[in-house]
Structure 1
Amino acid sequence: MKYYAIESHYEKEAPFGIAWQVKLFDGHTLLEEYDHIFYNEIAGYCKCLEDMGFIENVEVKLDIESELKKLQDFQKSIDEITAKAAILENPAKSVETPSIRTKSLSW
């Protein structure tokens, strides 16, 4: 039986610091390993393997789905922080300053 397994690991250059490794098996024999697959590539990569007749390792898929959920939550946090930082960089846009009125006196 041909199947593939996916493992996540830390990779400094990867988006969010996480990359995946895909291992192809025929029974208990390791056929190949593919490294440095990023989160935005993994779905298409797995689809190609399934088209080639490989079956997904269900236990690993559950882990990948939870990792993707964590990444999506992390991206939302980054977006919120970036928005707040943009406001702090240009406080004139975020804070209204009162106008100063002067009266002129004539003698």
Structure 2
Amino acid sequence: MPLASLLSLITERAAAPIGDRDPVLAEIRNAADGSAELLGEAAGVYRATMSNPAAAPKCLSARRALWLCVDAGADLDVARATTPAAAAHLATTCHQAAA
């Protein structure tokens, strides 16, 4: 599954009330084809979202999404490495949206 599709799924699951997390985590793992690296990339995007002041309204959802990625088995080193590039992309995107 491409990263954008995985992000969409995780964002949707993070926004919904979560009762039993196990099926949700299994769905996310399955969507990522069990790839800790892909989950790490997604986690890095959510981590960057939380650090972007322009994305503040999305912060709670991003925090929940980040924890879903981590609990689903994200590679945290990949998340840390992905965060700066994701933050730069978000800064450009948010700046363009504000203009």
**TM-score in terms of structure 2 length:** 0.32
From the CA coordinates, give the structure whose radius of gyration is larger: 1
Higher helix fraction (1 or 2): 2
Higher strand fraction (1 or 2): 1
